Amino acid sequence: MSASSPLLEVMNLRTSFAVGDRRVKAVRGVSFAIADEEVLGLIGESGSGKTVTGMSLLRLLPEHAAVEADAIRFRGKELSGLGDDDFRALRGVQLAMIFQDPVGSFNPAKTIGWHLQHAIERRSEADAKSWRSEAESLLLDVGIRAPERVLSSYPHQLSGGMLQRALIAMIIALRPALIIADEPTTNLDNLVERQILDLIRLHQRRLKASVLFVTHDLAIAEDICDRIAVMYAGEIVEIGPAEDVLRRPKHPYAACLLQTSLSLEQRDEFLFELAGEPGGRIPEEGCAFAGRCPKTMPQCRTIHPEMRAVGPGHQARCLLHGD
């Protein structure tokens, strides 16, 4: 692979779950690439497959999930052939994940210090004796003023915001190349959310890491992402530079999401409403959004649209565009 290959390249990722005697397709052919030091936002509503996409990449799904892909390349190296032990060595060091609920990322019976020590020691070159001073400086780096106290605290003794900070400190200790952040601020208050986002952005730049940022919040995505992929019903329906996707969306679904948040901002008398709800049964043929789309045409019910270029580095999956 040449030096210019992306950090992560995913081609035609398909994830399905066995439910009873049928298979539910959660991710239906997702392809994207993340460049070095890039923040790619994966946005969508519940059931769009955005979380499952991240979990599939990190092999964190339960047994009854089937993950297939034409390629998952990390630094040009195919990951799907990697054994579980080799993959585990990669995950948590090269590939890190921040979850919505930081509590689940900690062992409740161990102190924050214990976690940081293990993170520091896991990064092979770290000197085991100096972990405490490094841990303290890491906690200072994430805005914790009293690192000694936090190091001796147990997870349940810290607030959600403080715990998310401690988790970010752990991740900085590992110096990963790619961080998958799944709704890392959804459970937090607005103020703390802003602080955590600032931290993620700051350290992403310092570490020169790439981030796959999963969120349902357009405002957050606009704030933190370089590029954005919009997911609907297990597919990416639009992908491109953040500003293009959020300011000049081409796919009607992305346009509707934007219109909803704009009408809140503009203080409309009533908000723009997109009919229907996400997460319904996906039709066998045609466009998955056709049932809710304000611009549905007869052919949308029968033809499944392909991704088409709609601008520089900007693609959309809609029959209104391309050709």
Partner 1 sequence: MATEPTSLPVQGPAMQLRDIVLDFRTRSGFGQDKVFRALDSVSLDIGPGEVIGLVGESGSGKTTLGKTMLGVHRPTAGQILYRGADLANLSARGWKPFRRDLQMVFQDPLSSFNPRFTLGSSLALPLALHDVVPKKQIPDEVASLLTRVGLTPEHARRYPHELSGGQLQRVAIARAISVKPRIIVADEAVSKLDVSVRAQVLNLLKRMNRETGVGLVFITHDLGVARFLCDRIAVMYFGRIVEQGPTEAIFGDPRHPYTLSLLRARQHGRTPVASDADETALTIPDPARACHYAPRCARRTPQCIAERPVLAGGSHTFACFNPLSTQAAAAPAHAAMKA
| 212, 10 contact by CB (below 8 A) | no
Q: Minimum Å distance from CB 87 to partner 1?
A: 33
Q: Minimum Å distance from CB 64 to partner 1?
A: 20
Residue type, 147: P
Q: Minimum Å distance from CB 146 to partner 1?
A: 5
CA distance 285 to 282: 9
Q: Select 195 or 210, whichever has its Cβ closest to partner 1.
A: 195
Residue given tokens 């370089």 in the structure block = 226
Angle between helices 112-122 and 160-174 in degrees, nearest 10:
20
List 5, 12, 260, 296, residue binding partner 1 (CB under 8 A):
260
List 2, 156, 190, 281, residue binding partner 1 (CB under 8 A):
190
Residue among 5, 42, 9 nearest 27 (CA): 42
Q: Minimum Å distance from CB 124 to partner 1?
A: 30
Q: Select 124 or 190, whichever has its Cβ closest to partner 1.
A: 190
Cα–Cα distances in Å, from 286 out to 249, 255, 291? 21, 20, 10
Cα–Cα distances in Å, from 143 out to 118, 135, 147, 166, 192? 21, 13, 9, 10, 11
Q: Select 46 or 130, whichever has its Cβ closest to partner 1.
A: 46
Farthest CA pair distance, the chain: 68
101 scored as a contact of partner 1 (CB under 8 A): no
List 1, 18, 46, 77, residue binding partner 1 (CB under 8 A):
46
Q: Select 14 or 194, whichever has its Cβ closest to partner 1.
A: 194
List 68, 243, 277, 306, residue binding partner 1 (CB under 8 A):
277
Q: Select 90 or 224, whichever has its Cβ closest to partner 1.
A: 224
Q: How many residues bind partner 1 (CB under 8 A)?
A: 42
Q: Select 74 or 289, whichever has its Cβ closest to partner 1.
A: 289
Residue among 255, 249, 252, 257 nearest 220 (CA): 257
Cα–Cα distances in Å, from 271 out to 257, 262, 293? 11, 9, 17
Site residues for partner 1 per CB under 8 A: 45-46, 143-146, 149, 159, 161-162, 165, 189-195, 198, 216-219, 222-223, 256-257, 260-261, 263-265, 267, 270-274, 276-279
